[in-house]
Amino acid sequence: MGDKPDQIRDYRDLIVWKEAMEIARLVYLLTREFPREEAFGLTSQMRRSASSIPANIAEGFGRAQRRTFIQFLRIAQGSLKELETHAILANQVGLLPTDRFEDLFSRCQRLGRRLVQYVRSLSEAQQ
pLDDT range class, residue 79, cuts 50, 70, 90: very high
In this structure, whether the domain defined by 11-126 belongs to CATH 3.30.420.10 is answered with: no
**For the segment 2-52, what is each residue's pLDDT rounded down to a tens digit?**
444 457 789 999 999 999 999 999 999 999 999 999 888 999 999 999 999
| Model confidence at 1: pLDDT above 60 | no
| pLDDT value for 36 | 92
**Which pLDDT score is estimated for 40?**
86
User: d(Cα 84, Cα 108) in Å, to the nearest integer?
Assistant: 7
Q: Give the predicted TM-score (pTM) of the model.
A: 0.91
User: In sequence order, which ranges of 32-97 are alpha helices (DSSP H)?
Assistant: 42-62, 66-92
CA distances from residue 37 to 34, 61, 86, 95, 125 in whole angstroms, order as listed: 8, 37, 16, 12, 48
Give the pLDDT of residue 7: 74
CB atoms within 10 A of CB 84: 16
pLDDT at site 127: 67
Report the percentage of the chain scoring pLDDT > 90.
87
